[in-house]
Amino acid sequence: MLLNFGQAIEAVKQGKAAQRIGWNGKGMMIFLKKGSFDGSLLGFKPDEEIQPNHESTMEGVKFGLFENGASGTSCRLPNIQMLNANGNTVDGWLASQTDILAEDWQLVE
């Protein structure tokens, strides 16, 4: 099933990986790297898992896209990463205009 960019991003936010059929490199895909913060500063217990549907946000991003880090953890915002054709991870992938408008996204199994 082919997806548009918005559908692909929603799937990535749910922990799935996505790719475009139009990408030339074999095995290229994007995926989510969850953020992390010191949960104790916000009332979370140590090792308490943050539920994906948690409604609170940090900089407009739902807590469900973060991990509850250990006491003293520096805040790291979640980001989308890419596995490139060479098998290397690109931190903080940025979509091109073509990627945003494309209708050839698919989920990676």
pTM: 0.91
pLDDT, averaged across the chain: 95
The residue to which tokens 């948690």 are assigned: 54
61 near 23, Cβ under 8 Å? no
16 near 108, Cβ under 8 Å? yes
- R_g of the chain, CA atoms, integer Å: 16
Average pLDDT over residues 35-47: 93
Task: Find the angle CA(21)-CA(22)-CA(24) to the nearest 5 degrees.
Answer: 105
pLDDT for 47 beyond 90: no
What is the per-residue pLDDT across 53-89, written as a single tens digit (0 to 9) for each? 899 999 999 999 999 999 999 999 999 999 999 999 9
pLDDT at residue number 62: 95
pLDDT for 109 beyond 90: no
